[in-house]
Amino acid sequence: MTVADLQARQRRLEDLTRGLSREVAMWKGGNDPLLYLERRKYLNAIQDALAGIESARVVLADVVQRLGKPSTGPVAEPVPEMIPDEEVL
């Protein structure tokens, strides 16, 4: 899986989030045949799904950002511990 694949997945999750958000807005109007408790359960389930999708999108965004960062170059060798001159002799 490449960075481009991850970015495409991230965009699909964003689209899904927008669609589910529209669904929530539409159902909050209350102009439907559902009873109040049925509507609440449905909306809670949709909002739980939205939270999960948003969490997944954030994880992918972090991964894409990490993979997209340019390399900082070679890792420097650690500096050897300094030994006082008295101990060397």
**Residue 74 falls within a domain, yes or no?**
no
**Residue 81 falls within a domain, yes or no?**
no
**Residue 75 falls within a domain, yes or no?**
no
**Residue 58 falls within a domain, yes or no?**
yes
What is the pLDDT tens value at each position of the chain, 89 positions in all? 899 999 999 999 999 999 999 999 998 887 889 998 999 999 999 999 999 999 999 999 999 999 987 655 454 455 455 555 555 44
**Residue 18 falls within a domain, yes or no?**
yes
**Residue 86 falls within a domain, yes or no?**
no
For residue 21, give every residue at least 6 positions away whose Cβ sits within 8 Å of its Cβ, in sequence order, or none.
50
Gap between the Cα atoms of 12 and 36, Å rounded: 32
Inter-CA distances, 24 with 38, 54, 56, 67, Å? 14, 15, 19, 34
**Residue 79 falls within a domain, yes or no?**
no
Overall number of domains in the chain: 1
Tell me, yes or no, if the pTM score tops 0.75: no
Question: Which domain does 11 fall in, by range?
Answer: 3-68
For residue 47, give the 3-state DSSP assignment.
Answer: helix
Gap between the Cα atoms of 28 and 2, Å rounded: 39
